[in-house]
Structure 1
Amino acid sequence: MSGGPIFEKLLEEEMQVCAGSGAIFEVKVSGQTPLTVKWCVDDEEVTDSDKRYILEEEDDGTYKFQIREVKVVDDENEFTIKCEASNSIDTIITECCLVVEELPEGLKGCM
């Protein structure tokens, strides 16, 4: 067995969310430890100290990345969410295209 990291659960290819709501991304990784898992939004690495996000790790190899409130930034409504898992043997990546839908003013809730 090679021992390199393997995604047992990949990110969805695309996720659509309404502006103002939250979004949760989840992967499951196995492989030789120690494993390092990094999350990026448009190639900018997410850190634990950034209060816009929540990072979670479970004992079974599940890693979650949550955006507390999704927003359109500078008229940009598509973002690339990337999860990178690595160990001393290999590095693997899974990506999701996050599409932010803006609701018309006065319309509450999201279909």
Structure 2
Amino acid sequence: MRRIYESPEPDDGLRVLVDRLWPRGVAKEAAHVDEWPKGLTPSAELRTWFHRGGSYEEFRARYERELDAPEAAELLDGLRESVRKGPVTLLTATKTPERSHAQVLLELLGG
């Protein structure tokens, strides 16, 4: 997992943006994003709730429930398959990735 503002590294493998919105100030060509599965991202309602002071533990539980929805579950299974094939780097613009949806995804993927 890395912030999208960091330069791509040769060992990144498949680069997957896991944010719903494209990060400000990042040119698409410079980001070297291979996939952008918006259906894996937290809902707007959940993001708003969390950013207004919701606890990370509750956010995580709610987000994991959202990931059980058919579209998200299918995308998560596809990402798991990609991980089995080789390196995958989750990209996020979040300032604290270790307390974000990207961390939840990383842990669900076995990282």
Structure label with greater radius of gyration: 1
Question: If the length of structure 2 is used for normalisation, what is the TM-score?
Answer: 0.23
Query: Of Structure 1 and Structure 2, which has the larger fraction of its residues in helix?
Result: 2
Structure possessing the higher relative contact order (Cα contacts under 8 Å, 6 or more residues apart): 2
Query: Of Structure 1 and Structure 2, which has the larger fraction of its residues in strand?
Result: 1
Question: If the length of structure 1 is used for normalisation, what is the TM-score?
Answer: 0.23
